[in-house]
């Protein structure tokens, strides 16, 4: 089976993106993996996916890791990869401290994002470089990601977009960052935003991306020796913008808030259908199904299927 580095190289060459989906409990993981499996059977070979299986990344933030367990998250994903011979990988998403970077590396994560985007550029450079050194010392095969530009901090439903999230990363900042830190993957601010606006939940608005800026940053960092980029805060982005962003050079696309909203709606549906039920596995199926459908729809877009 290909490594995550080989998967990312393949995606970059084929101008597709690896879908990244966050979890905080087993039902969400079941929905994500089932969706990826089903789409692979339906379309994996047609899109040139490695071995006909569409790769996926599972993300766990610091809060999600605290809830699931750092080593337990690794064991879960590794068990699925080994049993099903499926290209599913684990990312230590939005890691803010060097201690947590070390813990994730020692536990065996496939990718680690050190997120210093809320810091000054100089401090972000300094701490990201230290994170890279720590990870490389423990396991040089781990993919290391860094982030520039503030796009919000959590998967919440909010009334108005934070003004600070409107500032875009520049090609010059991106080149300096990849050169001075030695990261493998860059996550820039290109119009994306964590969380959802109320208008998005109501279905009257979509996130829009600066596609020209994505292309500019991609070209600049590729010339500097780093070609992989991540789009964070992808939930409820306009479908055409998603496709264009991948074509312009996004290698990984994150979706989390959409899944959380699907999970909640599924739980509400399960409780409404079975008001006297107390067995979780009898209440959870609608949530698993709704998450599966979101994942299949997003993976289709990321792989040029719709």
CATH number for the domain spanning 292: value is 3.20.20.70
Tokens 């230290």 found at: 130
One DSSP character per residue, 281-304 reads HHHSHHHHHHHHHHHHHHHHHHTT
Which residue range is the domain that position 252 belongs to? 4-302
Q: What kind and span of H or E run contains 158? A: strand 157-158
Average pLDDT score, the chain? 92
> Mean pLDDT throughout 207-232?
95
d(CA 183, CA 132): 7
pLDDT of residue 161: 56
Condensed to tens digits (0 to 9), the pLDDT of residues 79-128 reads 999 999 999 999 999 999 999 999 999 999 999 999 999 999 999 999 99
> Mean pLDDT throughout 21-46?
95
Is residue 291 within 8 A of residue 22, CB to CB? The reply is: no
- The total of structural domains in the chain comes to 1
Condensed to tens digits (0 to 9), the pLDDT of residues 140-171 reads 999 999 999 987 766 666 555 565 656 899 99
């Amino acid at each position: 089976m290909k490594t995550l580095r080989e998967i990312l190289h393949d995606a970059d060459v084929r101008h597709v993106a690896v879908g990244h989906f966050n979890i905080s409990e087993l039902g969400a993981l079941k929905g994500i993996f089932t969706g990826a499996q089903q789409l692979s059977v339906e379309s994996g070979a047609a899109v040139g996916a490695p071995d006909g299986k569409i790769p996926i990344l599972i993300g766990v933030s610091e809060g999600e890791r605290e809830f699931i367990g750092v080593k337990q998250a690794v064991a879960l994903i590794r068990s699925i990869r080994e049993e099903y011979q499926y290209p599913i990988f684990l990312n230590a998403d939005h890691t803010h401290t060097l201690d947590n970077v070390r813990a994730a590396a020692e536990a065996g994560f496939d990718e680690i994002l050190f997120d210093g985007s809320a810091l000054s550029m100089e401090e972000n450079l300094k701490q990201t470089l230290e994170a890279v050194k720590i990870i490389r010392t423990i396991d040089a095969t781990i993919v290391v990601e860094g982030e520039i530009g503030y796009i919000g901090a959590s998967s919440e439903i909010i009334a108005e977009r934070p003004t600070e999230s409107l500032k875009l990363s520049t090609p010059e900042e991106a080149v300096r960052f990849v050169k001075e830190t030695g990261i493998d993957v860059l996550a820039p601010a290109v119009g994306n935003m964590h969380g959802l606006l109320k208008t998005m939940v109501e279905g009257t608005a979509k996130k829009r991306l600066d596609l020209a800026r994505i292309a500019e940053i991609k070209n600049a960092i590729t010339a500097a020796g780093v070609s992989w980029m991540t789009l964070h805060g992808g939930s409820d982005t306009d479908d055409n913008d998603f496709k264009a962003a991948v074509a312009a050079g996004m290698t990984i696309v994150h979706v989390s808030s959409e899944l959380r909203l699907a999970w909640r709606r599924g739980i509400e549906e399960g409780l409404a259908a079975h008001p006297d039920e107390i067995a979780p596995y009898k209440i959870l199926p609608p949530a698993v199904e709704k998450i599966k459908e979101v994942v299949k729809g997003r993976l289709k877009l990321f792989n040029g299927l719709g």
